[in-house]
Amino acid sequence: MRRLLLPFLGFLAQTACFYSDGPNTVTTLDYHIDRPRIIGLSTYPQVFQHGTPVTYNALIVGPDGTEPESVSVDLCGLLDDQITEIYGTECFKEPEYITHVADSVPFVWEPPDQSGIGCDDDPEENWWTCTSMVPLLFRADFEKESAYAIFNMPVHANPATSEVVDLPIVSLTATGDIVAGGDVELRAESTLAPEYAWRWYVDAGELRGTGRTLDNTGEGPLVSENTLTIPEDWSGTLRVFVVVQAWGGDGLAEGWSELALEVP
């Protein structure tokens, strides 16, 4: 089986099969929702093959609570007769390779039948040679700016035995002085352990624990805490988001929670 490697290199930061909103060294301090952002992606189940519908979702946020005017999800480079390996976004400059998938989130999609490729029937022995790696691009257009996220998706031509996990259920609570200039203690709990750090985002203010925190040590629930200092001149709603990415086999087992603080 010959594997087609298309030389498309992109500009969006990413790691392995997973999307990212930028390098951790940057996003640790880049936690403000001061522009349109896609800060979470989830897939369930986390296996991508014909005959298995998958639910995809994205956490799209805009400054001041603005909503996107449109959403588009597109796949690039998945062929019916050839295994492909593509990373990045340059592929999307080639219209003949693009498959439009959805105009909103969440949505359900399954890969096309690739049985005609002629892969061996043993998925364990032929996982790599019978699996395409292709970029799935999420785009959210706001009035003046757009937000993007990319997921490098492994699509199996043969039935796969990838691990599937439930999406984490995440809760978020706040205590303290919810006033301008006050310190608010944030506590997040998850039903699944994060594979990476907990990711925090706020409309404004300073996160003492930065935008990336770890689990609290000790036994008990899966918990992480942070402290938000509200700006001195803030009034009205101040949103807080926390995102957890658990291990999900081939896909993204992410869960998130939002909390709206009402500052008098």
Radius of gyration of the chain (CA): 20
Task: Residue 102: count other Cβ atoms within 10 Å of its Cβ.
Answer: 18
pLDDT score recorded for residue 25: 58
136 Cβ contact list (under 8 Å, min separation 6) = 56, 73, 74, 75, 101, 150, 151, 152, 153
pLDDT score recorded for residue 124: 55
Strand partners, 134: 153
What is the distance between the alpha carbons of residues 101 and 93, in angstroms, rounded to a whole number? 16
Note the pLDDT tens digit of each residue in 19-36: 445 545 566 899 999 999
Domain range 170-263, CATH architecture: Sandwich (2.60)
How crowded is the C-beta side of 43, counted as CA atoms within 13 Å? 27
- Among residues 179, 176, 164, 186, which one has the least CA distance to residue 247? 164
- Among residues 78, 72, 83, which one has the least CA distance to residue 150? 72
Question: What average pLDDT score do residues 46-56 get?
Answer: 95
For CATH 2.60.40, list the domain ranges present in the chain. 3-156, 170-263
CB 151 within 8 A of CB 42: no
- Among residues 4, 5, 14, which one has the least CA distance to residue 138? 14
pLDDT score recorded for residue 108: 98
Q: How far is CA 105 from CA 6, 68, 135, in A?
A: 29, 11, 17
- Cis ω before 63 (30° cut-off from 0): no
Q: Which amino acid is at 154?
A: P
- Among residues 75, 76, 87, which one has the least CA distance to residue 7? 87
pLDDT score recorded for residue 24: 55
Strand partners, 100: 74
Of 6-10, 72-76, 82-86, 242-246, the least confident? 6-10
- Residue 126: phi and psi, rounded to 5, are -125, 30
pLDDT higher than 70, residue 15: no
Question: What average pLDDT score do residues 213-232 get?
Answer: 84
- Of all residues in the chain, what percent carry a pLDDT higher than 70? 84
The third-level CATH classification (topology) of the domain covering 3-156 is Immunoglobulin-like (2.60.40)
Note the pLDDT tens digit of each residue in 93-143: 999 999 999 999 999 999 999 888 877 655 555 556 789 999 999 999 999
- Stretch (H or E) spanning 26: helix 24-27
Q: Which residues of 128-163 are buried (b: 16+ CB within 10 A; e: fewer)?
A: eebbbbbbbbbbbebeeeebbbbbbbbbbbbebebe
CB 114 within 8 A of CB 50: yes
